[in-house]
Amino acid sequence: MKWPPSYQIDALPPRLRERLKKQDELLVNIKAHLSELEDLLKWVNADSLYEDYVYRFYHQSFKVYQLQDLTRKIADALRRIAPEGTSFCAYFEELLQTGAGEKNFDMDHNLEWTKHTRPFVEAFFHARYFLEMAVKYGKSLDKAPDLMPSGWAALLSLYGIC
User: pLDDT per residue over 92-123, tens digit each?
Assistant: 999 999 999 999 999 999 999 999 999 999 99
Would the pTM of this model clear 0.75, i.e. be above it? yes
Q: What amino acid is encoded at 43 in this protein?
A: W
**How confident is the model at residue 5, as a pLDDT?**
53
Q: What is the pLDDT of residue 10?
A: 67
Give pLDDT, residue 147.
86
- Tell whether 6 is covered by a domain: no
Whether residue 2 is predicted with pLDDT greater than 80 in this model: the reply is no
Cα–Cα distances in angstroms (integers) from residue 38 to residues 3, 44, 52, 114, in the given order: 30, 10, 20, 31
In a domain, 7, yes or no: no
Q: Which of 125, 80, 119 is nearest to 103 (CA)?
A: 119
The verdict on residue 55 lying in a domain is yes
Structurally, the chain folds into a number of domains equal to 1
Burial letters for 84-107: b for 16+ Cβ neighbours within 10 Å, e otherwise? eebebbeebeebbeebbeeeeeee
Residue 16 pLDDT > 80: no
C-alpha–C-alpha distance, residues 103 and 66, integer Å: 10
Assess if residue 54 is contained within a domain.
yes
| Residue 31 reports pLDDT greater than 80 | yes
Q: Is residue 3 part of a domain?
A: no
2 located within any domain:
no
Please report whether residue 146 resides in a domain: yes
153 closest CA partner among 11, 19, 18: 19
Q: Which domain holds residue 25?
A: 14-158
pLDDT (mean) for 26-49 = 94
Q: Is residue 9 part of a domain?
A: no
Residue 34 region by backbone torsions, left for phi larger than 0, else alpha for psi between -120 and 50, else beta: alpha
Asked whether residue 26 carries a pLDDT value surpassing 60, the answer given is yes
